[in-house]
Amino acid sequence: MLEIRQLVKYYNSNPALQGINLQLKKGEIYGLLGPNGAGKTTTLKILAGLISPDSGEIFIDGETYHRDRSQLKQIIAYVPDQPFVYPKLTGEEHLHFFADLYKIPSSQRMEKFDFYFRYFEFEVYRYELVETYSAGTRQKLLLTQALMVEPKILLLDEPLTSIDPLVARKFKTLLKKVSNRGTVALFATHILSLAQEVSHRLGIIIDGKIITEGALEELLKISAGHEEDLEEFYYNTVMKYEELIQSQV
Amino acid sequence: MKNAASRFGWRKYLIFLLLSGGILGLMVFFSIKVFGFLYHQQEFPLYFKLFLSEKILMMTFLTMFLMLILSALISTLNIFFLSKDLPLLLTSPLRSRTVFTWKTLETAASSALMVVFFAMPMLVAYSYYFAPTLVKIAAVGFVFLLFMASGVLIGILIGLIIPAFFSVKRLQPVLSLVSIVLISSIVIFLRILRPERFGNPDVINNLVEYMQGLGVKGFAWFPFYWIAKALNLIAKGDYWGYCKAIGAFLVVILLLSGLLLFLQKKYYLRLFDKLNKGTPGSHRSGWKKSRFFKKKFLDYSTLWKKEIKTFFRSPDQWSQLLIIAAIVIVFILNMKGMPLPHASVKNLIAYLNMGMAAFIVAGLNSRFTFTTIPMENPGIAHIMASPFEKKKLFRFKLLFYVIPQMIVGFILFFTGDIALHLDAFTRIGGILYLAPALPFLTVQALYFSLRIQETVPLTPQHLVSSRSGISYMLWSAVYIVAGMIYFVRPFFLYHYNRFLQRPIPYLEISLWFAGFLLINTIMIVLFYKKCMSIWNKKEFTASS
């Protein structure tokens, strides 16, 4: 469904991605983990079409994808790492605006809006200007915006930022449902419990390279049972990588 | 101190001191020049000298009064509601009235400082010539104190009432709106007074007519009128009249103080709570289908709806329209009041009017068109990640701004046309100059705005004063002046030959006009293509 080959991106002369390779099957949820500045957000932004890679290729259902392929973007939805929205639109207007951009017919909108406003528990803010929303409510709006377009590829950058535990749980349930319907979800997060709970596969990215990936059980097996959970595995993997780099220096 | 010094902070202080010293020196110099000039006019009787001084003082105090209100209003919101020490003070054993009183004094001091700075040179110069005794100087000082108190109290009261209607999140736009209204009022008031008449009293037939012309009835109700009158009365030695002015001040101050105490007792703490909590408001206008955009342009209709809603819900955006209104009013007043005895002068003014209209549009472009894309950041990333075609967004931005800018430009030009009764040639010349110049200025603004690399959400102030913003203003000025110089030739050919009653070389003039249109069309196309190329390559990294 989604394939990334040798993705490279430099910011000025600083390498952000150094040859990322990924293959995601239909219905797969893939969690990208890594320290700050590792390249998670850059990967997602390239896939969302906000920035161009310096080299490498992206394929969606075998078709070459780049940021100007507007038609292919119809099946992609993106939630950025910070909940930026138009402050002077109300929650409902914001959703209408994006429904327009994705050409969702008016007849289908209200049902979706009603569902998500209630599901994520922010119906009371529906007609309020977004500028009055808390960070968590803004994030709910962005999640709604991404989910309502029923994308085939869902890109989520820190999807649970500022979200309360109850709604976070609801989101995880919904994400699994969406994936069961065939949507590919690629998300970046620092919340290891989220990655552990919902991901089919995980990748750890450091210095613009995916240094290890696989299903959680596989990863724990590879580490010969020394680690009991994802947190310990992640910590040891990052530390080993840093030691390796230092020894090479 | 150490850090500031290590970062060459002392240089900043030195520059600040030199600048303020320089400004103060200049103000003293001009004040002495103005009042000295009036004082030394032998042919003027004393009452006429004093009358002219009073008018000058009134105009200056009018500006200061509005500055004072605005400054007190901003200080009030900061000091009474947003100051970080408030939670500490209000939870301490201090009585809330004590806190309120100290906050009032703090507001008065901080808001009055600037006005005192500007008023002192003028008062010193006035006292030196017209009120040179100790008693008179004391009387000048006292009435100035009362003037300051009335302005500060009005500002504080408005500042205390505003939170009853607006949430803290809307304070900044409200303040922008208030400042724009006040600044526009200053401009309009000053135009109503027509200060240029001071420079040429000979144009008025007689003294009575002249003196009558300098009065504006409604001003008699304002403190800036009372202080100007009081200073006049001091100079005349009419202490009874002076006491009446003081009485008016005292009554107003007492009323305002009473109102202030009432607000403190009944509402201050409630408003403090409300302001810090914020009040959400419901907007149920919905997202109606556009009737104006047919199927092919439905994409533009989406952006149109979003743009219109966000524009008119942001007072700091739409309130700028008031400035445009003020500019148009001042423009009309200027044109109407202009004594133009000769046709040649009229033609020159009409010619300059073309450039003036272009300059105003360049200014508006700098504030609106230039800032539109960077200010939409980082929300624009959502549109870029959507299936919406990128080039359509750019085209929309261009159309959304170029049409109103052209309307404003032509309104300004035709206002001049109506006021000056231009001849057909000048009218056509103006249209041919503005028709390509206005769209070019808009494309140019977008071109410079695309050179800004947004990394954080930006404000209009940041943007306009950025390197790109200043570059736009400079290059647009160069473009307007170059265009005006280009137009000298066809205008000269027409008027010179007409003056000599020779056949007018219409072919050559037409070629000049056609050349201008051609050059501009090429430039517009080139800039548009360049913009598109930058736009297509543009990366949206803002939220990282």
Under an 8 A CB cutoff, do B283 and A129 touch?
A: yes
Secondary structure (3-state) at B354: helix
Chain B residues whose CB is inside 8 A of the A50 CB are: 381, 384-385, 539-541
- Tokens matching residue A89: 């639109």
Under an 8 A CB cutoff, do B381 and A49 touch?
A: no
- Tokens matching residue B519: 């050059």
- Tokens matching residue B83: 């100051």
Under an 8 A CB cutoff, do B388 and A80 touch?
A: no
Secondary structure (3-state) at A182: coil
- Tokens matching residue A97: 């605006």
Chain A residues whose CB is inside 8 A of the B389 CB are: 70
Find residue A185's DSSP bridge partners: A29, A154
Residues 6+ apart with CB under 8 A from B257: B153
Question: Mutate which of B174, B316, B537, B544 to disrupt the A interface (most A C-beta within 10 Å)?
Answer: B544
- Tokens matching residue B3: 């850090």
Torsion of CA B210, B214, B218, B224, to 10 degrees: -150
Please check the confidence at residue B251 and state whether its pLDDT lies above 90.
Answer: yes
Query: Model-level pTM?
Result: 0.70
- β-sheet with A184-188: strand ranges across: A76-79, A153-157, A184-188, A29-33, A201-206, A209-214
Average pLDDT rounded to a whole number, residues B113-139? 88
Give how far B281 is from chain A: nearest CA, Å: 6
Looking at residue A238, what is its pLDDT? 86
From the list B524, B521, B513, B508, the residue with the least C-alpha distance to B487 is: B513
- Tokens matching residue B372: 């539109």
Give me chain B's average pLDDT, please: 81
| A14-19 own/partner pairs: CB under 8 Å, 24+ apart | A15/A207, A15/A208, A16/A42, A16/A208, A17/A42, A17/A43, A17/A46, A17/A53, A17/A56, A17/A208, A18/A207, A18/A208, A18/A209, A19/A56, A19/A208, A19/A209
Residues 6+ apart with CB under 8 A from A71: B387
β-pair type (A2-11, A14-24): antiparallel
- For residue A109, give the chain B residue with the closest CA: B287
Chain B residues whose CB is inside 8 A of the A88 CB are: 309-310, 313-314
Chain B residues whose CB is inside 8 A of the A79 CB are: none
Q: Are B187 and B28 in contact (CB under 8 A)?
A: no
Please check the confidence at residue B305 and state whether its pLDDT lies above 60.
Answer: yes
Identify the DSSP state of A75.
T
CA distance linking residue B94 with residue A241, whole number of Å: 59
Looking at residue B188, what is its pLDDT? 67
Under an 8 A CB cutoff, do B544 and A41 touch?
A: yes
For chain A, the farthest-separated pair of C-alpha atoms sits apart, in whole angstroms, at 62
CA distance linking residue A167 with residue A160, whole number of Å: 9
Q: Are A28 and A153 in contact (CB under 8 A)?
A: no
From the list B490, B534, B493, B495, the residue with the least C-alpha distance to B512 is: B490
Please check the confidence at residue B544 and state whether its pLDDT lies above 50.
Answer: no
Average pLDDT rounded to a whole number, residues B251-267? 90
- Of residues B317 and B201, the one with the higher pLDDT is B317
- For residue A36, give the chain B residue with the closest CA: B544
Under an 8 A CB cutoff, do B544 and A42 touch?
A: yes
Looking at residue B148, what is its pLDDT? 93
A185 membership: H or E segment, kind and range: strand A184-188
3-state secondary structure B385-421: HCCCCHHHHHHHHHHHHHHHHHHHHHHHHHHHHHHHC
Please check the confidence at residue B336 and state whether its pLDDT lies above 50.
Answer: yes
From the list B321, B320, B408, the residue with the least C-alpha distance to B357 is: B408
Whose tokens are 């913003």? That residue is B469
CA distance linking residue B227 with residue A57, whole number of Å: 76
Chain B residues whose CB is inside 8 A of the A85 CB are: 379, 382
Select the highest-mean-pLDDT range: A117-126, B54-63, B408-417. A117-126
Looking at residue B447, what is its pLDDT? 94
**pLDDT per position as a tens digit, A76-121:** 999 988 777 888 888 999 999 999 888 888 888 889 999 999 999 9
Helix axes B424-450, B390-420, angle to 10 degrees: 150
Chain B residues whose CB is inside 8 A of the A54 CB are: none
Under an 8 A CB cutoff, do A90 and B306 touch?
A: no
Looking at residue A141, what is its pLDDT? 93
Find residue A7's DSSP bridge partners: A20
- Tokens matching residue B231: 């200073």
CA distance linking residue B374 with residue A209, whole number of Å: 32
Angle at B454 between CA A34 and CA A71, to 5 degrees: 75
Least confident range from B129-133, B350-354, B370-374, B460-464: namely B460-464
Looking at residue B279, what is its pLDDT? 47
Angle at B270 between CA B269 and CA B276, to 5 degrees: 90
**pLDDT per position as a tens digit, B87-111:** 788 778 888 888 888 889 999 998 8
- Tokens matching residue A121: 């528990």
**pLDDT per position as a tens digit, B173-212:** 666 667 667 666 666 666 666 655 555 555 555 555 655 6
Tell me what percent of the residues of chain B surpass a pLDDT of 70: 78
CA distance linking residue B473 with residue B480, whole number of Å: 10
Chain A interface residues facing chain B, Cβ-Cβ under 8 Å?
41-42, 45, 48-52, 67-68, 70-71, 73-74, 76, 78, 80-82, 84-86, 88-90, 92-93, 96-98, 100-103, 106, 125, 127-129, 131-132, 145
Q: How many CB atoms neighbour CB A214 within 10 A?
A: 15
- For residue A79, give the chain B residue with the closest CA: B382
Question: Mutate which of A10, A43, A45 to disrupt the B interface (most B C-beta within 10 Å)?
Answer: A45
Under an 8 A CB cutoff, do A78 and B385 touch?
A: yes
- Number of helices (H), then strands (E), belonging to chain A: the values are 9, 10
Chain A residues whose CB is inside 8 A of the B384 CB are: 48-50, 67
Reported residue count of chain B is 544
Chain A residues whose CB is inside 8 A of the B299 CB are: 100
Average pLDDT rounded to a whole number, residues B452-458? 67
Chain B residues whose CB is inside 8 A of the A67 CB are: 384
Q: Cα-flanking dihedrals φ and ψ of residue A17, to 5°?
A: -130, 135
Average pLDDT rounded to a whole number, residues B340-362? 79
Looking at residue B514, what is its pLDDT? 94
Q: Given 3.40.50.300, 3.30.70.380, 3.40.50.970, 3.90.226.10, which CATH number is that of A2-248?
A: 3.40.50.300
Helix axes B223-236, B239-266, angle to 10 degrees: 150
Q: Which of A45, A71, A84 sits opposite B387 (nearest CB)?
A: A71
CA distance linking residue B403 with residue B397, whole number of Å: 11
Please check the confidence at residue B357 and state whether its pLDDT lies above 90.
Answer: no
Looking at residue B252, what is its pLDDT? 93
Q: Are B427 and B351 in contact (CB under 8 A)?
A: no
A8 membership: H or E segment, kind and range: strand A2-11
The burial of A207, by beta-carbon neighbours within 10 Å (0-12 exposed, 13-18 middle, 19 or more buried), is given as middle
Question: Mutate which of B308, B314, B382, B533 to disrupt the A interface (most A C-beta within 10 Å)?
Answer: B382
Chain B residues whose CB is inside 8 A of the A128 CB are: 280-283
Q: Which of A42, A102, A127 sits opposite B284 (nearest CB)?
A: A127
B184 CB-side CA count, 13 A: 18
Q: Are B489 and B518 in contact (CB under 8 A)?
A: no
Under an 8 A CB cutoff, do A76 and B543 touch?
A: no
3-state secondary structure A125-178: HCCEEHHHCCHHHHHHHHHHHHHHCCCCEEEEECCCCCCCHHHHHHHHHHHHHH
Select the highest-mean-pLDDT range: A129-143, B1-15, B507-521. B507-521
Looking at residue B4, what is its pLDDT? 47
**Residues with pLDDT less than 70, chain A:** 223-228, 249
Please check the confidence at residue B278 and state whether its pLDDT lies above 60.
Answer: no
Average pLDDT rounded to a whole number, residues B376-394? 84
Is residue B217 very low, low, confident or very high in pLDDT (cuts 50, 70, 90)?
A: low
Inter-chain CB pairs, A–B, below 8 Å? 111
Please check the confidence at residue B420 and state whether its pLDDT lies above 80.
Answer: no
CA distance linking residue A157 with residue B90, whole number of Å: 42
- Tokens matching residue B178: 């208030």
